[in-house]
Structure 1
Amino acid sequence: MDFALNEEQRILRGQILRFAQDKLNKDVRQRDRDQVFQRELWGACAQMGLTGLPVPQAYGGPGLDSLSTAIAIDALGYGCEDSGLVFSICAHLLACVVPIWKFGTEEQKNRYLPGLCDGTLIAANAMSEPESGSDAFAMQTRAEPHGDGFLINGTKTFVSNGPVADVAVVFAVTDRAKGYFGGITSFLVDRALPGYRVAQKFEKMGLRTSPIGELVFEDVFVSKDAVLGGVGGGSRLFAHSMDWERACLFASHIGTMERLLEKAVAYTRTRRQSGQAISKHQAVAHKIADMKMQVEAARLLVYKAAWGLERSQSVSLDAAVSKLFVSESLVRTTLDVVQVFGGYGFLSEFEVERAVRDAIGSKLYSGTSEIQRNIIAGWLGL
């Protein structure tokens, strides 16, 4: 196996690093404090191709392979200190753009993908509900046949990008008798449609620059052309999008961990206690050694899963393993960095406490750590 990046991947990584460091880090603390989503930064990311990384050029994207997509997102996570912006881009790209590219009709691809790639449209994935988060079998939103289409009624919650989205990939029950497998359908629903309502916007612990909220659908009529992936195909589409999300979104966390590792190394070399740099204290050095181990292992797991998106039949297992390891490693790393920085790590003027707040959600979104363990156990026949 060759673990080296090819020339194109090295150039891509360097370009994204420089872009993120130069353009995306101004006033991050203030944006986080005010919970501000900046559309102009979104547009700048779109100009770099970040909102459509794997989408073929014919539809407006750069046309990267899945591994190069993960490498690009890894670089974005390293270069951009605004984890909320990174998260919003990944939620848009992996849970919405990729399903349209993979499952959409030609009409749907031509209608949506160019705008989703060039930044004029923002997408949201509307799956979770007040009474059905991890338990998708309990979904209550329904889509009933009506004339030449469907009427959608229901409420979706924890919708990343929901307050600012122009289009939503909405999952609804179309045949309750068939249950989750065969009875769930996904729809492309435009914000401008009558009955589509953005309800409350939530405040949250971390990723505060990524807007999240509730979407309400009251007799929203969509034509049959809005069906994405075929009637009854929602569960397959959702599983596929989660493979991409678990494999590629979590690449951004590798970049974050690597940046924090470097910050911790630099700090411990200059901070002195008992007459020497604290890097010479074994208790501190061991924490940093563990951070390095977690970064390297996480990158191998994520890149393997991303590579497998286009090649492996067991990609769901690989994606679950990488998602679980990376999310738990990210939380451990951020907490260890706080410990290394001591009192300074507790202060808001440093990046460290924000990194902890941003990290906690990684064990919840894209399927909780418990769900990932269930998936892994299932693949092992347990």
Structure 2
Amino acid sequence: MDFALSEEHRLLTETARRVGETYGLDYWRQKDEAKAYPEEFWRAICEAGLAGAMLPEEYGGSGLGMVETAIIIEELCAAGAGATLAQIFMLNPIFGGVAISKYGSDEMKRAWLPKLCSGEMTFSMGLTEPDAGSNSLEMRSFAKRDGNGWRLDGRKIWITGLPQADKILVVARTIPLENTPKRSHGISLFMIDVDREGLSHSAIDKLGTNTLPSSSVFFDSVRIEPEELIGRENEGWSALLDVLNTERIVTTSGLLGAGRLAIRLAVDYALDRKVFGSRNIGSYQGLQFPLAQHWAELECVRMMNFKAAWLFDCGQPFGSESNAAKLIASQAASNVIEQAMQVMGGMGYAKEMHVERLWRDARLFRFAPVSEEMILNYIAIAELGLPKGY
């Protein structure tokens, strides 16, 4: 067991940090206030060769792994972006890249993966539904056979980055739930154009993650061509779980970066701020101990996240590890960001100090992309052998 980073890892770390610091905190504050997509930043990530780190070299990627992707995301988020940037990696290298590279046709790989790596093509994913939520097996979006293709009807909610996307990975039933031998059967994945007749969407006004819009999406007899099927018809559930468990690693990396950034901002403020005499407030144990505690928690999360990423790269099961890392990361990041606000006192509430944005954005990940409660359900069943209670 070797915990040392290789020279390649160090180069990736330095590259990601350099890209992140080129834009920095003020860039993200301005984007957040304008509710604007960070197009320039994503383009810079692609130009640096970071977007396709885990995708095959023959399609424009670097042929590396999830460990390297986790390193890249954490450094980019720690440099100023905060947790939200991880969502762009979810949309593109995960929902687009993993889905296509593992389950797409050769034609899809040749046509789309190079454009994903270069930033010419961006992706979104349509899974969550208003009446299903975490219980995805209850989804009602239905793709009915129409000649050699399908016609899709239904609705999705909380779909990220759709207005900027070229393609959306849509999860839909292709056999009615009541007609399947088991609930996980009869689900299919499709990669379709966002700009397509019958597909419409409307924005959701929300608390944070303002640089990536969230939308309600409506499908009204949307035509799906046969070549847009990802994987095998009616057997998409296992492929979907593979993609979603990978998403946990990406989320955790973003939260680690946000937590590190919050500690840095809090420490910088504490070393500069003086009250009740000449000593800076960083000398008070009442401020030191909570920050030290959160640093320790984040370090433990990193080890579990690297383990999950390593298991993924080795082709071994990684669901419990990726979920456990995400569970503790979301709690630790939220807590340390709030502690950073506390260190700053009233100034922590001011936008110019940046931590209020980190706080708003990180709060999402206590219940997304999977809630704490559903993670605990998973661990109780998969690791403790307890009966399913829902």
Give the structure-2-normalised TM-score. Answer: 0.94
What is the aligned partner in structure 2 of residue 120 from structure 1? 120
CA distance in 1, matches of 2:223, 2:315: 38
Is the aligned partner of 1:351 residue 2:354? yes
How many pairs does the alignment contain? 381
Is the aligned partner of 1:381 residue 2:385? yes
What is the aligned partner in structure 2 of residue 218 from structure 1? 220
Cα offset, 1:96, TM superposition? 2.6
CA distance in 2, matches of 1:78, 1:228: 34
- Equivalent residue letter for 1:164: Q
Q: What is the correspondence of 1:27-38 to structure 2 with a 5 Å cutoff?
A: 27-38=27-38
Q: Map Cα deviations across residues 313-332 of structure 1 (whole Å, 9 max, x no partner).
A: 43001111001011111111
What is the aligned partner in structure 2 of residue 136 from structure 1? 136
Cα offset, 1:39, TM superposition? 2.5
What is the aligned partner in structure 2 of residue 48 from structure 1? 48
CA distance in 2, matches of 1:40, 1:240: 30
SS of residue matched to 1:220: strand
Is the aligned partner of 1:208 residue 2:210? yes
Deviates more, 1:229-238 or 1:266-275: 266-275
CA distance in 2, matches of 1:83, 1:359: 6
Is the aligned partner of 1:72 residue 2:95? no
Is the aligned partner of 1:191 residue 2:197? no
What is the aligned partner in structure 2 of residue 269 from structure 1? 271
Cα offset, 1:26, TM superposition? 4.6
What is the aligned partner in structure 2 of residue 333 from structure 1? 336
CA distance 1:52–1:24, change in 2 (3 Å): farther
SS of residue matched to 1:10: helix
Cα offset, 1:25, TM superposition? 4.5
Residues 50, 89 of structure 1: 8 Å contact kept? no
Q: Which runs of 4+ in 1 moved over 6 A?
A: none
Which of 357, 368, 387 aligns to 1:365? It is: 368
CA distance in 2, matches of 1:346, 1:296: 27
CA distance in 1, matches of 2:53, 2:251: 12
Is the aligned partner of 1:290 residue 2:288? no
CA distance 1:70–1:38, change in 2 (3 Å): closer
What is the aligned partner in structure 2 of residue 12 from structure 1? 12
Cα offset, 1:89, TM superposition? 3.1
CA distance in 1, matches of 2:84, 2:378: 27
- Equivalent residue letter for 2:270: T
- Equivalent residue letter for 1:14: E
CA distance 1:10–1:247, change in 2 (3 Å): same
SS of residue matched to 2:313: coil
CA distance 1:25–1:263, change in 2 (3 Å): closer
Identity %: 29
SS of residue matched to 1:219: strand
CA distance in 1, matches of 2:69, 2:377: 27
Which of 220, 239, 242 aligns to 1:240? It is: 242
What is the aligned partner in structure 1 of residue 345 from structure 2? 342
Deviates more, 1:281-290 or 1:45-54: 45-54
CA distance 1:82–1:261, change in 2 (3 Å): closer
- Equivalent residue letter for 1:254: L
Where in structure 1 are there 5+ consecutive unaligned residues?
A: none
Deviates more, 1:19-28 or 1:230-239: 19-28
What is the aligned partner in structure 2 of residue 152 from structure 1? 152
- Equivalent residue letter for 2:320: L
Residues 25, 354 of structure 2: 8 Å contact kept? no
Cα offset, 1:349, TM superposition? 1.3
What is the aligned partner in structure 2 of residue 318 from structure 1? 321
Q: Map Cα deviations across residues 271-295 of structure 1 (whole Å, 9 max, x no partner).
A: 1223222122221111111121122
- Equivalent residue letter for 1:157: I
What is the aligned partner in structure 1 of residue 306 from structure 2? 303
CA distance in 2, matches of 1:58, 1:338: 46
Residues 170, 187 of structure 1: 8 Å contact kept? yes
CA distance 1:293–1:9, change in 2 (3 Å): same
Cα offset, 1:85, TM superposition? 3.9
Q: Map Cα deviations across residues 36-75 of structure 1 (whole Å, 9 max, x no partner).
A: 1143332222212333221111111122112111111111
Q: Map Cα deviations across residues 58-117 of structure 1 (whole Å, 9 max, x no partner).
A: 111122112111111111111232543442233322223211111111111112211122
CA distance 1:118–1:185, change in 2 (3 Å): same
Cα offset, 1:187, TM superposition? 0.4
Q: What is the correspondence of 1:53-64 to structure 2 with a 5 Å cutoff?
A: 53-64=53-64
Is the aligned partner of 1:250 residue 2:252? yes
- Equivalent residue letter for 2:166: D
CA distance in 2, matches of 1:175, 1:24: 48
CA distance in 2, matches of 1:74, 1:112: 26
Residues 74, 252 of structure 1: 8 Å contact kept? yes
